[in-house]
Structure 1
Amino acid sequence: MAALRRDDNRVIIHFDYDCFYASVLEAENPALKSLPLAVQQKQIIVTCNYEARRRGLRKLQLIKEAKQICPDVVIILGEDLTKFRDVSKSLYCFLKSFLWTQKAERLGFDEVFLDVTEMIDYNMSLLNRHDLAHSFFCLDKRDPAIGFQFDATSYCGLTYPETIGSPLPRNTAVDGQHNLVQRLILGSHLAHYMRSRLDNEHGYTATVGISTSKLLAKLVGNVNKPNNQTTLVPPYSNSEGMSNVNRFIDDHEIGKIPGIGFKSARKIRTYILHREATFEPYTERNVDDQVKVREVRLTPTMGPPKLLDILGGHGASRDIGFQIWNLLNGVDNSEVLEARIVPTQISIEDSYKGLEQFEDVKKQLNLLAASLIKRVRTDLLDEQDHDTKGNDTPRWTALPRTLRLSTRRRSPKNADGSRDYSYANGRTSRSGPVPKFMFSLAESAEAVAEKLVDDSLVSMFRKLHPDKSFGELSLINVAVTNMVETAGDDKQSSGRDIGKMFKQQGSSIASAVVETNRLDDQVYQDSTSRNAANVTVTTQIDNTEWEESDEEDVPSAQLCDVCGSHIPVFAFGAHALYHAVPD
């Protein structure tokens, strides 16, 4: 069965900052650039620079193992994500500033999708079709002098497949046959210009992919790492011979295709191999167990119905077969989401070996609440605003209405002393109105946090756990949600009057509500380009809308009963196998 028709009228650029966590630390201390550097969260390495990788280190290694492989590795604790979050936000705003639309979408801390179609369309109309070699890319429609010169007859940077010579002859007209080629050429030069500015003005390098969809742009960018860019060049259609899209996608292991989760990839491998794959989760160590897209796509009877048979079941989307079939054919027409001015929620959490005493819980609530207040001030305050007298008066760009406290109990011990996954117990939450004093800037974050704990969070906790003996808690999460933008032009904005925002809050939040969320054990697995700290647990088995929000920046952790380490849930399967392998 044929796939959906691909929309090749767009130009999408995907930015992936190189070794982002390590790069942020290197920017603070340039001396680290020449040293093997690893960033630690809990007991694992969440990322490391290329010098460390050259010496054999990799993501998700235990710290103990990393030190054995590279004794002189410099390990820096990365539990506090504030500096990484702030740099990510700054770089995102910088890249977004080039666009004429708001179609700039973040994926975690270190990836950004940009839909530059409007800019390409406009500059296509400006090309001198009789002298493409001396072209000018206009960056501002209001000022035609702002831009850069470029050669519109050839791609800038690397291509897949590699092109020899110019894809367009000089001094030629741009006809329909060359339209897609020409548009991608313009996209490649724009991407190079933005990469150069990012490096020169902010000191960060990025690996970039250019194509007509998010799927293809992300994948093709991975071909040449680091600090490079790659354009997936036409033909994109089989009518012009072998499509470069199929050639490119076919050579990927199915687990590397965004949108095909770990469970789905495992089921497809089992069907193709007629047996269970035995390689370690999240790795490709056993080549015999790899299944390439080509093998799946060209299997007799393979198509949406067969994929539905393989992947369907409880919790699966009814059109999952059609969704996966399109991904296998390089079809992804999902839009680059418009930039959100404010986040949908701000959330802080931490995991524990087991909290049993209320005094310890209250101490952790104070720490989490202080971090939450700092995040709220960082993300929702506009420091650039001025009052009518010209004085600097930071204003709130949005105000959350709802305060939420969530906890999760640690699983009790089984008869053999083991414990079930604690996240299988689910989280229990209590919500209530945000107190007005949270938005006071006259006091420190710690002072506001202490009041928040005493006035709100302790009461919520007592209602969640009325018994003094509440067992062992493995996780506490504090969040603010239900954002209302302020001082905006649209009808939904509430203006700068905080009192007005709270006026009708009683009707919107009648009473605190207890809710229990059961988390599926499926964790969306992206390719190795994603930093571990940006992966979030999802209740969906496979999300064809494969972009992820960074609302929950720190993943939930699972306590290992063997070594006592806290391991992020997405890595726990691999960690368990680590202990199972003989020394």
Structure 2
Amino acid sequence: MDTSDFDLITRHPRSIIHLDVDCFYAQVEMLRHPELEGKPLGVQQKNLVVTSNYIAREFGIKKCMSVQEALRLCPGLALVRGEDLTEYRRVSTKISEILHQFTSLVERLGMDESFVDVSCLVDKSASSSRRDSDCGMMNDSLSSESNSPIGKIFGPAEEECPCGCHERLSSASKIAAEMRNRIYKELRLTCSAGIAHNKLLAKLSGSLHKPNQQTVVFPCAASLLLSSIGSVSKIPGVGQKTAELLMSNNIATVDDLQRIPLENLELKIGTDLARKLKDNAEGIDETIVKPSGKPQSIGLEDGFKSVSLVAEVESRLGALLRRLTELATEDGRIPVAMKLTVRKHDFNKANSGKRETRQSALPQSLLPATKGGAYDHAKMLTLAMKLFHRVVDVSKPFHLSLLGVAFTKFEERSSGKSSITSFLRKQVAVQSVLDISSEEGISDVSLGSPMSVNQDSNDAVEHPQSTANSANTSLSSSNLASVAKTSQFTDDDDIPNEVEPSPKKTKLEVWLSGRRESPSNEMAGLRLGPSSPMSPMSPPPGTDAAVFKSLPIDLQREVSRSWPATNKPKPNNILKYFIANK
């Protein structure tokens, strides 16, 4: 195989899903207020309608419209106050937990949007299909049906790509459908999805058919999709300043961007930005899905009508554990404990159907010694069955309708107690390395990222910029029983929990734990000169400027920005090098 053949095969290797909950705030409110079903509904924050359901949108209600204007267009509009985001965050966490049951490669764009890289799942499915085919277990008709994508297809689909991406994206469309079905079944929320070989195309295709539908775009239709969106400002990641810069150079549409030679564009807007935008105009995007924050629990459940035999329990738990260890290996962290969940069914008891759990520490002998190493499945299953016998008395008849197993309270892999990294983390005073002299200074560094509204979506959402999780969490056997499934988004403003120094941690450790977990948004690199958190905000197009300026600064940030901006790069130093490469 020559080099050109190799390049051809690896040209479109990834399978990316962009998942977007339809009118997220409004759907949550309709679930909380069933009497509003079938009526036009808007979610109000201060004097703005930040989002509405699709019935209201038929009257012309738009995002961030003033309440007065919305009521003029739709006098029967039901308004629900949406300043309290607690319920939205709770539901968003549930969605994230469902997605993490498929893969750990989940990048949140806000409470209602996520990128999910399912490439590994697709490859595994393809390998399984090939094995079944080799064993004669798949006939031609089934094979043909399995290769058909689920949902809409944008553009021409006849032009097959030699790299095999059509088959991979068709498989990814089935995974996207399963994700959407799971979210609807468990949370009663509908989602739209886009499936493509990169993030840019997946996001754009997901907005083509809404609500409650999904769209696949193959690589051959990439340029056509970008051309169809019109204004350059609709390219995800292109903010107001970038759009104004392009407009000042007579580049208003994606077609204009596609036609202008790269050399000319570089002279007008600079080399890096010009190359990035030219790639995007052709549907090229090499940014990876970066997990926005890893959950403190990864679990899987298996529901069924009834299981009454210990042997069947062992078989089902074994299957769950095999998949769970795959997810843990992909995650890369070390699980501290295992939790078993059962749901008993008893017609003679009123509380039948209640979940019961048991939890145990995971001995080091059961865990892989190195990152990517293998788990001891036999010993894992033995531990799970011990937990099962603690919660179910098998000497008496039993009937189960659910089994679940989870790894909880993860720790990051460390470099060793005597490593220079450990020394720098624990021994160096904060003032001598970082010149931080107050608790307030630490909080400012950790929590200085603003929230924003994604103007490319249909809903007002918050965009977490960082996740402050402790890198080395210790858990004693005495408090393992209290470990529960938690989320990284639990505070009042949908940003990570505040980092508070404890007597056992130096200020340096606390500050570093906030910095090291902060994800950067690759696509935010298209923005020019992001404003500081306290700088004046410009009202979105079509918004009453007076109403907008009356809002508190945090709400102005929430409804005015289209994509989270990257943090200002920090100077390199030896401490940053050792910690970053731990």
Q: Counterpart of 2:187?
A: 202
Note the alpha carbon deviations across 1:261-301, whole angstroms, 9 max, x for none.
2111122123126xxxxxxxxxxxxxxxxx321222113xx
Could you state the TM-score of these two structures normalised by the residue count of structure 2? 0.54
Q: Counterpart of 1:18?
A: 22
CA contact (8 A) 2:462 2:558 kept: no
CA contact (8 A) 1:7 1:212 kept: no
Note the alpha carbon deviations across 1:163-186, whole angstroms, 9 max, x for none.
5xxx69xxxxxx983722111111
Could you state the TM-score of these two structures normalised by the residue count of structure 1? 0.54
CA contact (8 A) 2:13 2:197 kept: yes
CA contact (8 A) 1:486 1:493 kept: no
What amino acid sits opposite 1:41 in the alignment?
A: Q
Distance 1:570 1:122, change over 3 A: same
CA contact (8 A) 1:223 1:230 kept: yes
CA contact (8 A) 2:287 2:522 kept: no
Q: Counterpart of 2:70?
A: 66
CA contact (8 A) 2:111 2:462 kept: yes
CA contact (8 A) 2:150 2:170 kept: yes
Tell me how large the CA RMSD over aligned residues is: 4.5
Residues 1:565 and 2:550 are matched in the alignment? yes
**Correspondent of 1:247 among 175, 200, 224:** 224
Question: What SS does the aligned partner of 1:86 have?
Answer: helix
Question: What SS does the aligned partner of 1:14 have?
Answer: strand
Distance 1:383 1:247, change over 3 A: same
**Correspondent of 2:277 among 324, 333, 356:** 324
| Overall identity of the aligned pairs, in % | 27
**How many Å separate the matches in 1 of 2:119 and 2:186?**
25
What amino acid sits opposite 1:295 in the alignment?
A: D
What amino acid sits opposite 2:167 in the alignment?
A: Q
Q: Counterpart of 1:134?
A: 142
**How many Å separate the matches in 2 of 1:156 and 1:391?**
37
Q: Counterpart of 2:117?
A: 115
What is the deviation of 1:134? 2.1
CA contact (8 A) 2:453 2:558 kept: no
**How many Å separate the matches in 2 of 1:336 and 1:572?**
25
Q: Equivalences for 1:258-273 in 2 at 5 Å?
A: 258-272=236-250
What amino acid sits opposite 2:221 in the alignment?
A: N
CA contact (8 A) 1:133 1:153 kept: no
Distance 1:197 1:265, change over 3 A: same
Residues 1:44 and 2:48 are matched in the alignment? yes
What amino acid sits opposite 1:213 in the alignment?
A: N
Higher helix share: 2
What amino acid sits opposite 1:309 in the alignment?
A: L
Residues 1:75 and 2:79 are matched in the alignment? yes
What amino acid sits opposite 1:271 in the alignment?
A: N
**How many Å separate the matches in 1 of 2:58 and 2:119?**
38
**How many Å separate the matches in 2 of 1:292 and 1:533?**
27
Note the alpha carbon deviations across 1:323-381, whole angstroms, 9 max, x for none.
222111211111111352269xxxxxxxxxxxxxxxxxxxxxxxxxxxxxxxxxxxxxx
Residues 1:56 and 2:60 are matched in the alignment? yes
Note the alpha carbon deviations across 1:99-133, whole angstroms, 9 max, x for none.
2xx21111100011111111111211224387354
What is the deviation of 1:260? 1.6
Distance 1:132 1:492, change over 3 A: farther
What is the deviation of 1:531? 3.0
What is the deviation of 1:206? 0.6
**How many Å separate the matches in 1 of 2:256 and 2:267?**
17
What is the deviation of 1:508? 3.6
Residues 1:155 and 2:159 are matched in the alignment? no
CA contact (8 A) 1:537 1:555 kept: no
Residues 1:226 and 2:234 are matched in the alignment? no
**How many Å separate the matches in 2 of 1:326 and 1:120?**
26
Q: Counterpart of 2:574?
A: none
CA contact (8 A) 1:132 1:153 kept: no
**How many Å separate the matches in 2 of 1:562 and 1:110?**
28
What amino acid sits opposite 1:292 in the alignment?
A: T
Q: Equivalences for 1:447-486 in 2 at 5 Å?
A: none
What is the deviation of 1:546? 3.3
What is the deviation of 1:523? 10
**Correspondent of 1:507 among 420, 424, 429:** 429
Distance 1:293 1:202, change over 3 A: same
Q: Counterpart of 1:309?
A: 267
Distance 1:134 1:524, change over 3 A: same
Note the alpha carbon deviations across 1:468-494, whole angstroms, 9 max, x for none.
xxxxxxxxxxxxxxxxx9762622899
**How many Å separate the matches in 2 of 1:74 and 1:251?**
35
What amino acid sits opposite 1:33 in the alignment?
A: E
What is the deviation of 1:197? 2.1
Q: Counterpart of 1:490?
A: 413
Question: What SS does the aligned partner of 2:124 have?
Answer: helix
CA contact (8 A) 2:233 2:240 kept: yes
**How many Å separate the matches in 2 of 1:193 and 1:23?**
20
What is the deviation of 1:246? 0.9
Distance 1:132 1:105, change over 3 A: farther
Distance 1:201 1:543, change over 3 A: closer
Distance 1:69 1:531, change over 3 A: same
CA contact (8 A) 1:251 1:292 kept: no
Distance 1:573 1:524, change over 3 A: closer
What amino acid sits opposite 1:113 in the alignment?
A: F
Distance 1:182 1:15, change over 3 A: same
**How many Å separate the matches in 1 of 2:338 and 2:126?**
36
Distance 1:311 1:45, change over 3 A: farther
Distance 1:213 1:41, change over 3 A: same
What amino acid sits opposite 2:192 in the alignment?
A: T
**How many Å separate the matches in 1 of 2:97 and 2:111?**
12
Note the alpha carbon deviations across 1:61-89, whole angstroms, 9 max, x for none.
01111111111111111111111111101
Q: Counterpart of 2:34?
A: 30
Q: How many residues align?
A: 367
Q: Counterpart of 1:528?
A: 456
Q: Counterpart of 2:165?
A: 180
What amino acid sits opposite 1:107 in the alignment?
A: L
Residues 1:298 and 2:259 are matched in the alignment? yes
CA contact (8 A) 2:155 2:221 kept: yes
CA contact (8 A) 1:535 1:555 kept: no
Q: Equivalences for 1:334-483 in 2 at 5 Å?
A: 334-338=287-291, 340-341=293-294
What is the deviation of 1:229? 0.4
Question: What SS does the aligned partner of 1:532 have?
Answer: coil
Distance 1:323 1:544, change over 3 A: farther
Q: Counterpart of 1:88?
A: 92
Structure 2 residue ranges without an equivalent (≥5): 1-6, 297-335, 341-355, 362-407, 467-519, 527-532, 562-582
